[in-house]
């Protein structure tokens, strides 16, 4: 094997290692890392105080239909994010729905309304 080929292989391997090491150094955001959990009524073992009811409404028009979000994931993440802003320990009674709505000016174009609601709580 010639010296040029060895040098080329060494530089290629070094470049690959630097690229892989550089990617692992980039912090990845955790979706829902520090967000309060969603608890069922069976999981509530301690007394709690209700901080408030959270309701989020998102209207999706005909121009947004290419996105196709997972409605349940969107709703739970949005509710948990708002509960975290309230410094809640958990979220209970989540309800996520969607319905078709009519646009007055353009009735021929479909639109949807997504609703997510839940109750933010703090343990005593």
The CATH number of 35-123 is: 3.30.110.70
Angstrom distance (rounded) from CA 95 to CA 74: 12
pLDDT at 100: 78
In 3D space, the residue among 53, 93, 59, 52 whose CA is nearest the CA of residue 74 turns out to be 59
Q: What is the DSSP letter of 89?
A: S
Q: Which residues of the chain have a pLDDT value below 70?
A: 1, 13-14, 16-33, 62-69, 102-110
pLDDT at 90: 95
Q: At 68, list the tokens.
A: 């196709």
This prediction's pTM: 0.65
pLDDT at 63: 61
pLDDT at 105: 64
pLDDT at 7: 77
Q: At 6, list the tokens.
A: 């060895």
């Amino acid at each position: 094997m010639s010296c040029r080929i060895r040098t080329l292989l060494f530089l290629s391997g070094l470049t690959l290692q630097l690229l892989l090491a550089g990617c692992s150094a980039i912090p990845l955001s955790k979706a829902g890392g520090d967000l309060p959990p969603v608890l069922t009524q069976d999981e509530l073992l301690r007394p709690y105080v209700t901080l408030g009811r959270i309701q989020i409404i998102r209207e999706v028009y005909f121009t947004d239909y290419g996105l196709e979000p997972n409605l349940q994931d969107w709703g739970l993440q949005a509710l948990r994010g708002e509960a975290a802003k309230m410094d809640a320990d958990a979220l209970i009674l989540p309800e996520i729905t969607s319905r078709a709505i009519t646009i007055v000016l353009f009735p021929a174009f479909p639109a949807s309304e997504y609703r997510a609601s839940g109750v933010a709580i703090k343990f005593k």
